[in-house]
């Protein structure tokens, strides 16, 4: 034991290590202890499922010989490197490090059977698990499809994207769905992992969620870049009773009904449809609630600024009845400019309500009897050859 203690002390001090041949006559126990302490003789105890780093020792036509720190070399047969492209295979050279998966710890020749394909797959699972935990978006090309959705390959791991999680696949007939999925083959999609189970070889992804998060990120960037008064081009994305939503490049803003046109608008659908390209002005930005108020009409000149130049008292104009009220009727004489026909100016005979004579949408000839650009008011009369009455003038003033 004194000999072995001397060996221990020498190793700890970095002194020359005794040659094993010198210890052969000192007893098997001493020899075994020295071998166990020498890292150059510490072989890996490999088992199926291990993923280990190796180094290429030889490249043959049908196999690659790899040093994996075991008592014998490992071999990668051609069937276990199917995922290597011709370019990747040609780039391999002796001495290169390589990650391999242990398929069989030892064959009848004592060599470990290794796999590049399964190592890549195992590495991919680990990366996918990390991305899933971090909530990252990944990109993959569609390889194929089946009845339920799209199939993608992520470095050896097959993923499934249900049809319901693909934004461009409609909820129509089965034949239509299949046609839409076929068009997506070889298309790269942004995806987010929504379920991962390595043991069951299950990977479920969603393009809808990835798009939603990408859009939200773009929206934040857009909100920070916008300034009130900016004019942007956009596309009408949806229409509702109170206005339209316009996509201005990553975020939807609302154009309220009152901001669509200088003219009176009853419903947005009367003037616009989904997909229309429009110019909008930024009215306000609510960063906290991530809302944008837009205006279409403010990208156009205000019609009332030129009313005094275009019209004068006594002029006969054509107008379209837009609204009937108990006190009279409103007539549009151009976009953004409406005049009031007081009930007393509708005709020579007394009536109880304008609807007795007029209807919305009716085109009439009217005479301008009053102009007030500052208050954005024009008085009209259907009595083309009469002077304005006292009652109509008073009504205009009170209105």
Number of neighbouring beta carbons within 10 Å of residue 62: 9
Supply the mean pLDDT for the chain. 83
Nearest to 385 by CA among 310, 286, 294, 316: 316
Task: Looking at the structure, tell me whether residues 148 and 208 fall in a common domain.
Answer: yes
Instruction: Tell me, yes or no, whether 394 and 308 share the same domain.
Output: yes
Same domain flag for 28 and 56 = no
Which tokens in the block code for residue 394?
């008073």
Instruction: Show the beta-strand stretches assigned E in 34-179.
Output: 51-59, 63-67, 74-77, 97-104, 112-115, 137-145, 149-154, 157-162
Name the least confident of 1-15, 304-318, 331-345. 1-15
Give the total number of structural domains in the chain: 5
pLDDT score of 37:
52
**Per-residue CA distances from 93 to 52, 77, 89, 120 (Å):** 18, 16, 9, 18
Cα 108 to chain centroid, rounded: 54
Range of the domain at 59: 51-120
Whichever domain contains 264, its CATH number is 2.40.50.140
Residues 27 and 76: their CA atoms lie apart, in Å, by 40
Output 397 or 78, whichever has higher pLDDT: 78
To which H or E segment does residue 169 belong?
Answer: none
DSSP string, 230-276: -EEEEEEEEEETTEEEEE-SSSEEEEEGGGT-SS--S-GGGT--TT-
168 and 255 assigned to the same domain: no
Q: Per-residue pLDDT for 24 more than 50?
A: no
Over residues 321-343, the pLDDT tens digits come to 989 999 999 999 888 888 999 99
Q: Read off the pLDDT band of 76 (50, 70, 90).
A: very high
Position 33 scores a pLDDT of 53
Same domain, 143 and 207: yes
Cα–Cα distance measured from residue 75 to residue 101, given in angstroms and rounded to the nearest whole number: 11
Domain-located, residue 221:
no
């Amino acid at each position: 034991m004194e000999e072995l203690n001397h060996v221990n002390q020498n190793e700890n001090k970095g002194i020359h290590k005794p040659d094993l041949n010198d210890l052969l006559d000192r007893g098997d126990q001493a020899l075994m202890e020295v071998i166990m302490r020498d890292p150059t003789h510490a072989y890996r105890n490999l088992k199926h499922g291990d993923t280990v780093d190796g180094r290429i020792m030889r490249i043959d036509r049908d196999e690659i010989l790899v040093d994996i720190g075991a008592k014998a070399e490992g071999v990668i047969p051609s069937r276990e490197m199917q995922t290597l492209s011709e370019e990747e295979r040609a780039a391999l050279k002796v001495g290169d490090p390589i990650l391999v998966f242990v398929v069989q710890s030892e064959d009848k020749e004592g060599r470990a059977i290794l796999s590049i394909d399964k190592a890549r797959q195992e590495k991919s699972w680990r990366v996918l698990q990390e991305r899933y935990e971090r909530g990252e978006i990944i990109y993959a090309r569609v390889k194929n499809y089946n009845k339920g959705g799209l199939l993608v390959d992520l470095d050896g791991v097959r993923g499934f994207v249900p049809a319901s999680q693909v934004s461009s696949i409609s909820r129509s007939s089965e034949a239509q769905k299949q046609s839409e999925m076929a068009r997506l083959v070889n298309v790269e999609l942004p995806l987010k992992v929504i379920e991962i189970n390595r043991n069951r070889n299950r990977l479920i992804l969603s393009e809808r969620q990835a798009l939603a998060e990408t859009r939200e990120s773009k929206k934040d960037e857009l909100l920070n870049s916008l300034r009130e008064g900016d004019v942007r081009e956009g596309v009408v994305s949806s229409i509702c009773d109170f206005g339209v939503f316009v996509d201005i490049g990553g975020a939807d803003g609302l154009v309220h009904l009152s901001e669509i046109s200088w003219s009176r608008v009853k419903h947005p659908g009367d003037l616009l449809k989904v997909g229309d390209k429009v110019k909008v002005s930024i009215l306000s930005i609510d960063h906290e609630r991530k809302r944008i108020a837009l205006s279409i009409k403010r990208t156009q000149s205000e019609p009332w600024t030129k009313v005094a130049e275009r019209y004068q008292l006594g002029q006969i104009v054509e107008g379209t009845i837009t609204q009937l009220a108990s006190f009279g009727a409103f007539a549009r004489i151009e976009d953004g400019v409406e005049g009031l026909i007081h009930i007393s100016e509708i005709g020579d005979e007394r009536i109880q309500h304008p609807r007795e004579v007029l209807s919305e949408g009716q085109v009439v000839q009217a005479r301008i009897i009053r102009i007030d650009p500052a208050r954005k008011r024009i008085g009209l009369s259907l009595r083309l050859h009469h002077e304005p009455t006292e009652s109509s003038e008073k009504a205009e003033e009170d209105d």
